[in-house]
Amino acid sequence: MSRRLVCLHALKKLISINILAAIKTLFYNYNVPKALSTDQSNQFVAQLVVYLCVKYNVKKIFQLNILPTR
């Protein structure tokens, strides 16, 4: 059975170090996931985030940014 958890976290600045801290907080609060699904924005492909995924053995899955149609 597959489970998905969607978490939103407000950041003052959208930079890699802030995203890294938010992801680490999620890992500590909800346990380390098997996979992390994100878009391909620069902050999520930064070396810090890639390092975090390698460190915790989390598979990185990139999704395309698809806007909903009306």
pLDDT tens, position by position, for the chain (70 residues)? 456 777 788 888 888 888 888 888 988 998 898 888 777 777 667 788 888 889 999 988 766 665 566 6
Per-residue tokens: 47: 């070396």
> In degrees to the nearest 10, what's the CA dihedral of 37, 62, 50, 58?
40
Whether this prediction's pTM lies above 0.85 is answered by no
Number of H helices and number of E strands within the chain?
3, 2
